[in-house]
Amino acid sequence: MNTSKIKNILFIVLIAVLSSVVTMLGYDVISKKGKTISGTTSPAVSEEMGAYANSFNQDKNLVLTNLTTSEGYPDFTEAAAKSVDGVVHVKTKTISQQQYINPFDFFFGFGDRTPQPREQVGFGSGVIISKDGYIITNNHVVENATEVSVSLNDNREFTAKVVGTDKMSDIALLKIEGDDFPYLTFGNSDALQVGEWVLAVGNPFNLTSTVTAGIVSAKNRGNVMGGGLGIQSFIQIDAAVNPGNSGGALVNTRGELVGINTAIYSQTGNFAGYAFAVPISIAGKIAADLKEFGAVQRAVLGIHVPNIENIRRENPDRARELSQIKGVLVEEFAERSAAKAAGVQKGDVLTAINNVPIRNFAELQSQLNRYRPGDKISVTVDRNGSSKTFNVELKNDEGNTEITRSVDAMGKLGATFRPLNDSTKNKLGISSGIEVMSVENNGLFKKNNINKGFIIMRINNTPVNSEDDIAKIVSATNSRQDKVLLIAGFYPNGRTQYIAIDLTTN
């Protein structure tokens, strides 16, 4: 082999070696840059979210590195393994009323038409968010439930207490007893980007510990389910979510909780490519409120904005004009308006809250839902082409900054009770019952002429034998829209009475 050929071969080998070295160095640089962007430290969580995480004593170190395989593909294995332990299977029992029709009615026109109670079992998901057993789920998972239990990924089962519920956001907070549960830490849902990988973890079709993957399809999605929920600022994802996933976790590839899976858009009831999650920036605040106050503290600006969907039906041109506005038009004010008091005027276009850009009503709602009455925020508006900023002290719906606390529905009854033993029940000829031992003068029992000695057999057609039975029914009724107790009972040697008590009255 001549010298020139040897030189050519050596030159080719040298080029190949240099190419390999450059490639390896490049991969190392890219990997390091990737870790800098989404590695051991998460994008900064807002001050508010940090406070909500502190409400549940979350350990900030319980997060994962955003891992990739050696080929550069996303690796979800560690995030999935961490998440399934923090997601629970929720089982509920509710009592429905079925109208029983006696066949003799068809012949004689009379008979027993008393609604018959029927126990129904429901399933869903929930997310443990604290070491001592607080769990976020959806309101519709536990609504009207007389009994709630949860199963962990390690098959342990617990009876859960419903700490509080919020119908507007479809969020509920549960509690199980213990002090060493695996849990998910709050992530930064504001930092999610369209196209970012996420995992949905839950129990679809009663199949436990199921993980599906997808991307963020859109943020601040409003008008979901025809606006059936009060909160209209959802994360839209294309990860498969089905019945049973409700209340489950939406996590990023670091294993952080960024949303609560809530709804799907489907004509069949099953997954059709669209699913929606309540951002943890909203759900975390609601959970913290329910834990601390038993009720959600909602802050409002006191402004009215145009309903573009309604306007579109009557005036398409006007709706098209409004939809081009980058911000939220102030059309009118509430009777007691924090925004008006601060200097905002009709016709102003609201463009930012605390320097966070606002392009539509969903983004405005997303920002306001993380504050409480009494919080002070800066509001930037566009007024005839000129930018102005106002300092606004947010109010509640009643126009003040007072804290709203949950009402103790059992306490409103104003009564104490004594269980009946079997011999007393047999003597009275009843199969279920509890005796009223005392009543308070300002309680609902006294106001509805239920006094000491009254025997309660059923409430809302559900048999009662203990104060705990009554408490469960009252709690379930208090979460419904029609907060009415129908009490069936009697005084010894008296006739059966049916007494309706409205829990909303004072």
Q: Which residues are catalytically annotated?
A: 140, 170, 246
**Residue among 267, 271, 275, 268 at smallest CA distance from 247:** 275
CA atoms within 13 A on the CB side of 61: 0
Q: Which helix (H) or strand (E) holds 441?
A: none
The answer to whether 99 and 117 are in contact (CB under 8 A) is no
Q: Are strands 328-329 and 275-279 parallel, antiparallel or unpaired?
A: unpaired
Tokens describing residue 216: 């963020």
Across 203-273, the runs of DSSP E, i.e. the strands, are 210-221, 234-237, 249-251, 257-264
Tokens describing residue 65: 């590195």
Q: Are strands 134-138 and 332-333 parallel, antiparallel or unpaired?
A: unpaired
Q: Could you give the C-alpha distances from 274 to 231, 239, 299, in angstroms and in order?
A: 18, 8, 30
User: Residues with Cβ < 8 Å from 231, sequence gap 6 or more?
Assistant: 168, 169, 170, 278, 282, 365, 369
- Angle formed by the axes of helices 280-293 and 47-55, nearest 10°: 50
The β-bridge partners of 199 are 213, 251
Q: Residue with structure tokens 């956001």?
A: 169
User: Residues with Cβ < 8 Å from 173, sequence gap 6 or more?
Assistant: 134, 135, 136, 162, 163, 164, 165, 286, 287, 290, 291
- Report how far residue 29's alpha carbon sits from residue 34's, in angstroms, rounded to the nearest whole number: 8
R_g over Cα of the chain: 29
Q: Is 355 exposed, middle or buried (0-12, 13-18, 19+ CB in 10 A)?
A: exposed
- Report how far residue 67's alpha carbon sits from residue 144's, in angstroms, rounded to the nearest whole number: 42
The answer to whether 200 and 214 are in contact (CB under 8 A) is yes
